[in-house]
Amino acid sequence: MISVAMDGPVGAGKSTVAREAAKRLGFIYADTGALYRAVGLYAVRNGLRDENASDYKEKVTALLPEIKVGIKLENGVQKVFLQDEDVSEEIRLPEISMAASAVSAIQAVRDFLLELQRSIARENNVIMDGRDIGTVVLPDAQVKIFITAQPEIRARRRFEELVKKGVEAAFDQVLADLNQRDYQDSHRAAAPLKMAEGAVLLDTSKLDFEGSVNAVIDLVKSRI
């Protein structure tokens, strides 16, 4: 099996680029952020909204045994299920992005999702995107890519994505949220976002979608 680990900050184009590159390569695409989002959604649904509360970590951890997260591929599109309910749309709300970032800092949550992620790569040729795929989840991946772009460009892309979906958003807020999530994701103690050893840096600031997809495909082909 061939594994491509694709890590990077929010809005770098990871998911759209990885999905299209996987499709053209005949690989499956696995979006691991969606799994953290499902856990974040479950926490929010259970009233755990204040990530700064002293018992937040403890309470989220206590919920884990009852959480059922699963993914299914429907026509190559990943759907995420929480307690057997399709939550693929709901997990994209900005409130849930913040909750996902908060729960993802908890080591017990990361441990909880680890085996599910590894099992996907055992059974399929995959491009898996996330924050710690090359460093923790699939350290033996044949190809590791760290994909990024300047913060303003990433915020602009995320903003346009939300507008397209009809979600009310202000650009300044999107940029502020993105900077906060970047900070949280890269400064946490548990599996912080950083470039894996052997990873190739792909900066998409000046690349359009097609250019980014081709860059990934070229990299994969050159390594296998």
Residue 104 Cβ vs ligand DC, minimum distance, rounded to whole Å: 3
For position 10 contacting ligand DC by CB under 6 A, the verdict is: yes
Query: Structure tokens of 121?
Result: 């790569």
Place of tokens 């080591």: 107
CB 174 within 8 A of CB 37: no
Distance CA 194, CA 9 (A): 9
- Residue 47 CB, nearest approach to ligand DC (Å): 20
Q: What's the CA gap between 22 and 83, in Å, rounded?
A: 28
Binding window for ligand DC (CB under 6 A); candidates: 74-82, 126-134, 153-161, 210-218? 126-134
Angle (nearest 5°) at CA 134 between 174 and 78: 60
The residue (of 128 and 220) whose beta carbon lies closer to ligand DC is 128
| Interface positions, 96-115, toward ligand DC (CB under 6 A) | 97, 100-101, 104
Contacts of 13 (CB under 8 A, 6+ apart): 147, 149, 157, 204, 209, 212
List, in sequence order, every residue forming a beta bridge with 88; answer none if it has no partner.
none
Nearer to ligand DC, 88 or 104 (CB): 104
For β-strands 143-148 and 200-203, DSSP reports them as: parallel
Per CB under 6 A, does 88 bind ligand DC? no
Among 131, 144, 157, 158, interactor with ligand DC by CB under 6 A: 131
Q: Based on CB atoms, which residue is closest to ligand DC, 77 or 218? A: 77
Out of 4, 20, 29, 36, the residue judged to bind ligand DC by CB under 6 A: 36
Cβ proximity to ligand DC: between 25 and 91 the closer is 91
Q: Which is nearer to ligand DC, 176 or 218 (CB)?
A: 176
Contact between 37 and ligand DC per CB under 6 A: yes
Q: Nearest approach, Cβ of 101 to ligand DC (angstroms)? A: 3
CB of 14 to ligand DC, least distance (A): 7
Residue 163 or 221: the one with the smaller Cβ distance to ligand DC is 163
DSSP codes, 103-138: HHT-HHHHHHHHHHHHHHHHHS-EEEEESSIIIII-
- Residue 133: strand, helix, or coil: helix
Q: Which of residues 173-212 bind ligand DC (CB under 6 A)?
A: 181, 185
Question: How many whole angstroms separate alpha carbon 80 and alpha carbon 39?
Answer: 11
**Contact present, 81 and 71 (Cβ < 8 Å):** yes
Q: Tell me, rounded to whole angstroms, the distance of Cα 212 from its chain centroid.
A: 17
**Residue ranges binding ligand DC (CB under 6 A):** 10, 32-33, 36-37, 97, 100-101, 104, 130-133, 181, 185
